[in-house]
Amino acid sequence: MSEPVTPTEVMIVAAARQLAGERVCFVGVGLPNVVCNLAKRTVAPGLDLVYESGVFGAAPARLPLSIGDPTLVTGSTAVTGMFELFAYYLQAGLVDVGFLGAAQIDRYGNINTTVIGDYAKPTVRLPGSGGACEIAINARKVFVIVRQARRSFVERLDFRTSPGRSGDPEHDRRRGWFGNGPSLVVTDLGIYGFDEATGEMTLRSLHPGATLEDVRAATGWEMRAAEPLGETPAPTPEELRILREELDPEGVYTGRREGDARR
């Protein structure tokens, strides 16, 4: 365990801890997959994982290479068509927590995973919504996990793929969705919540070694910070052991090797 802890590992561990007490989690591609499986082995043993691909109650015998990995199917509790999955599980409100990634996120938790630049003529064409748009609207809680930088934490989105808060909490409640925008954002610098009065993103806790200046430098607007500001407890040796030895021995997701963390 002499290997130094990477910012991505802190991000994953911090996100996993937030799943304590949650029941049903909707798992998308990439980092959330690792986060949910770490939580299941630590703070949330009873967590039921619903995979976008149609698997419920997966018992993977290896780290899934994608959310459609055959190891998620063999030995699972149920495999269902994608209509049933999105309609009966997600749209019907059975999902307690849904995870979203983001290429851009604004202060209200609105998310862009579609394009950088103009939609008709983008400078960068991103993957698009996938299930993100309906997860944002139908999951009872939405957690965002994203690496923080000025280009991702922006004042204005180039495109709104997944709705967050409107800035008017009263309006948000009236929307009648199961949730009302993301309640948590975890980055490689800190943990963020949203102010109930203004609906604005607020720094709650800094990761070990990160400073308020790092956060401000990596945010495209004046980030609010809670007082007193908490510090994220460092990953425990046990959390790191599970993450490094059981879940991601090759370091695909933990940033110890080049990999992809996009939705």
Partner 1 sequence: MPGKLTTMREAVAELVRDGDTVAIEGFTHLISFAAGHEIIRQRRRDLTLCRMTPDVIYDQMVGAGVARKLVFSWLGNPGVGSLHAVRRRVERADPEPLELEEYSHFGMVCRYLAGAANLPFFPLRSYYETDLPRANPLIRPLRSPYGEETVYVVPPLRPDVAIVAVQRATEAGDAQIWGLLGCQREAAFAARRVIVVCEEVVGEDVVRSDPNRTAIPGLIVDAVVHEPFGCHPSYAQGYYDRDNRFYLEWERVSRDPEALERWLEGWVHGLSSHREYLEKLGEERLRSLRPAERWSGRVHYGDYGGAAAGAFPAEGGGG
Write out the residues near partner 1 by the rule CB under 8 A.
24, 29-30, 46, 48, 52-57, 59, 61-62, 65-71, 73-84, 86-88, 90-94, 114, 119, 121-134, 137-138, 159-163, 166, 175-177, 260, 262
Please identify which of the residues 9, 52, 200, 239 carries the catalytic annotation: 52
Residue number with CB closer to partner 1 (81 or 230): 81
- Residue 206: CB minimum distance to partner 1, A: 30
The contacts of residue 183 (CB under 8 Å, 6+ apart) are 141, 142, 143, 193, 194
- Which pairing describes strands 201-206 and 190-194: parallel, antiparallel, or unpaired? antiparallel
Return d(Cα 246, Cα 62) in angstroms, integer: 8
DSSP, collapsed to helix, strand or coil, labels residue 234 as coil
Peptide bond before residue 182 is cis, with ω within 30 degrees of 0:
no
Which helix (H) or strand (E) segment holds residue 174: the answer is helix 169-174
Q: Is 52 among the catalytic positions?
A: yes
CA 166 centroid distance within chain: 20
- Residue 175: CB minimum distance to partner 1, A: 7
Q: Which residues are catalytic?
A: 52
